Amino acid sequence: MTTTAAQTGYDRAEIERALTTDGITALKGAFSPEWADRMREDIEAAFEEAIGREGGAVGRGPNRYYVEIHPEQLRGFLDIVSHPWFRTVCETVLGPDYKVLELGFDIPFAAAQNQPWHRDFPSPPETHEGRRLTSLAFNLTAVDTAEDMGPFEIAPGTQWEAGLDWDHQMFPPRDEWPRFESIAQRKYPKRGDISVRSALTLHRGTANHSEKSRPVLVVGVDAPGAGHDEFHDMAMTREFSDSIPEEIRAHLLGRVVDRLEPIVQQHTIEGLVMGEA
């Protein structure tokens, strides 16, 4: 493990409160900056491989891409999914049988534009009727985020809005945007921080006015039956799978294969391809 001093006894009530009110919370300094620098090396290597093949990197707006990878492409993967805060959050919100099913990264490069306000998939009845979250998205920044780098922006509390009449049930109409902008919060995470949010909480990447990229790792987790596994194809070799402690392996949904094949991205979000304009 490359985490800082192990902490246990995280406040489950506070975690639940944060995710059912704002829809987002975070743990600062979960990992060292040097750990995050290694994560960035792995992200950049994976991007160079993916951008050169069809279906390897998908657009999430001008100069903005999303790439899914296998756990073995990220040296720190097991550090993340075995971190006690990560496990506590998942158990608290999704239950003891949660499944990790997505590993990827988003990169807004220089001149990336504002995304439209959106959620990552339609709200299920369990959420907009039953007020229960069935999935979580964890984010880890590979850089120290500055104002001019296009920080992530989120509209707290909007995870409960049904959105049944929105475009694809994911994109609210433009005349509702001022409401989200009036409550929006921009986030400025540092290397080593980890955050978690409901992917239903309305959010957007903002315009990158710098000359730097802002890579962010994404780890997607579902409660049993949430159904998002059909959009992802995480896999691992037998040797890698056998090296994982069983209490962690039981929560990984990836297939066990003889040889890893590059992932062809299936979770394309059509409404993000052109950006805000």
Is residue 151, in this structure, part of any structural domain at all? Answer: yes
For tokens 């040296």, the residue is: 75
Is residue 4, in this structure, part of any structural domain at all? Answer: no
125 Cα distance to chain centroid: 22
- CB burial string 38-57: b at 16+ within 10 A, e below: bbbebbeebbeebeeeeebb
Average pLDDT estimate for 41-46: 98
Q: What is the pLDDT of residues 222-268, one digit of tens each?
A: 999 998 877 888 999 999 999 999 999 999 998 999 999 988 876 55
Is residue 32, in this structure, part of any structural domain at all? Answer: yes
- Give the total number of structural domains in the chain: 1
- pLDDT value for 6: 43
Residue 42 has pLDDT above 60, yes or no: yes
| Close Cβ partners of 98 (under 8 Å, ≥ 6 residues apart) | 90, 91, 221, 222, 223, 224, 251
* CB contact at 8 A, 34 and 207: no
Average pLDDT estimate for 82-105: 97
Q: 102-111, 214-223, 229-238 — which is least confidently predicted?
A: 229-238
In the three-class reduction of DSSP (H, G, I as helix; E, B as strand; rest coil), residue 72 is classed as: helix
Retrieve residue 91's tokens: 């158990």
For the domain that residue 265 is a member of, what is the CATH number?
2.60.120.620
Is residue 114, in this structure, part of any structural domain at all? Answer: yes
pTM: 0.93
Average pLDDT estimate for 172-191: 98
Q: What is the pLDDT of residues 150-159, one digit of tens each?
A: 999 999 999 9
pLDDT band at 275 (very low <50, low <70, confident <90, very high): low
Which domain does 217 fall in, by range? 12-271
Is residue 108, in this structure, part of any structural domain at all? Answer: yes
Is residue 58, in this structure, part of any structural domain at all? Answer: yes
Is residue 276, in this structure, part of any structural domain at all? Answer: no
Is residue 277, in this structure, part of any structural domain at all? Answer: no
* Rounded-to-integer distance, Cα 132 and Cα 206, Å: 29
* CB contact at 8 A, 138 and 238: no
